[in-house]
Amino acid sequence: MTDDDGTLAELFDRLGCEIALCVQALDGAAEFTLAADRQVTPGSTMKVQVALEAETWFAEGRLDPREQVALPAEGRTPGPVGLSLFADEATLSLRDMVTLMLTISDNPSTDALLRRVGTGAVNATAARLGLTGTVVTSDLATLVDAVARDLGRADWNDLDTWAATASAEDHARADALLVASPTLSPTTGTRTTPYDMARLLRLIWTDQAGPPEACARVRAVMARQLTRHRLAAGFRRPVAVAAKSGSLLGVVRNEIGVITHPDGRRYAAAVFTRSRPGADDAAVNAAIGTAAARAVAALRAAGA
């Protein structure tokens, strides 16, 4: 099943962005797709992969989930929430890092976990699970510094300092460079496809992605994500949504998650967007929920 009449593609085009999505019924083979094989920039949706890897290592005894790790203030991965905003050193357990990473998308926790398990292990798991279009190329600190260099600055801190006093015209020129950033290109940077992420969710929700306790933990924490203005905006209680959002610098706005209806039918949804300068953030966020709701409604109408 596809967006045959082009209504979803037209909706997002009017909002100044393109969309790619895959929504699958978990209890069958039915799916609704739109450019589902297109390579996209995942943003923080890749944190589900990191969480799965960490929780698998916990379950298999390769890491102690209760191990306390100190994260110094100096050199901490930047971000808009969580530990990125702390002025002092923070100490917390590895499993609590998973919680921060999936509930509020904490960047320092993500990079700390990646340092322990390694991007190689995350990519090896992706290959084992058949996620053929998915590659994590670096941690988040490396990514944001690379974006800053794409914009002509030394690193992220330099870009942040520049942005505080830059003129509107300078910001507009930076926005134009940002859209063409090689770091944010799905052909050279960290990448995935909607199909791969829907598959990953399917495998996690059916305990096939790793040890059952690891899958259960990822599901439980995703259900507590704070962000509710994308996929969840398209549904009303008692429909439940467990999700992970992902954004990058006003260019990338994504969300992946599983929608569970009261009748027990479940749907894995992966919606990815890429915006042109000036796109309305709130409108795109709401449209992600609209797209998922339309896809799920079409599948349910077909009996899936």
CA dist 134 and 168 (Å) reads 36
Residue 2 has pLDDT above 90, yes or no: no
User: What value does the mean pLDDT take over residues 127-155?
Assistant: 96
Assign a CATH topology to domain 7-301. Beta-lactamase (3.40.710)
In the numeric block, which tokens belong to residue 48? Answer: 């589900």
Percent of the chain with pLDDT over 90: 88
Q: Is 209 strand, coil or helix?
A: coil
User: What value does the mean pLDDT take over residues 105-120?
Assistant: 98
CA dist 65 and 73 (Å) reads 22
Percent of the chain with pLDDT over 70: 99
Q: Is residue 238 reached through a cis peptide bond, with omega within 30 degrees of 0 on the bond before it? A: yes
CA dist 269 and 234 (Å) reads 12
Greatest distance between any 2 Cα atoms in the chain: 56
Of the CA atoms within 13 Å of residue 164, those in its CB half-sphere come to 5
In the numeric block, which tokens belong to residue 198? Answer: 């829907």
- Kindly report, residue by residue over 217-231, the tens digit of the pLDDT: 999 999 999 999 999
Q: How confident is the model at residue 291 (pLDDT cuts 50, 70, 90)?
A: very high
Q: Is 166 strand, coil or helix?
A: coil
Centre a 10 Å sphere on the Cβ of residue 234 and count the other Cβ atoms it contains: 23
pTM, entire model: 0.96
Q: Tell me what pLDDT residue 77 has.
A: 96
DSSP 230: S
Q: How confident is the model at residue 207 (pLDDT cuts 50, 70, 90)?
A: very high
Nearest to 218 by CA among 201, 194, 199: 201
In the numeric block, which tokens belong to residue 180? Answer: 């063409």
Q: Tell me what pLDDT residue 304 has.
A: 84
Residue 5 has pLDDT above 80, yes or no: no
Q: Tell me what pLDDT residue 176 has.
A: 87
Q: Where are the chain's structural domains?
A: 7-301
pLDDT averaged over every residue in the chain: 95
Q: How confident is the model at residue 4 (pLDDT cuts 50, 70, 90)?
A: low
Phi/psi at 260 (5° precision): -120, 120
Residue 125 has pLDDT above 80, yes or no: yes
The single residue listed with the structure tokens 């009449």 is 5
In this structure, are residues 1 and 31 in contact, taking their beta carbons and an 8 Å threshold?
yes
CA dist 24 and 19 (Å) reads 17
User: What value does the mean pLDDT take over residues 234-262?
Assistant: 96
In this structure, are residues 78 and 107 in contact, taking their beta carbons and an 8 Å threshold?
yes
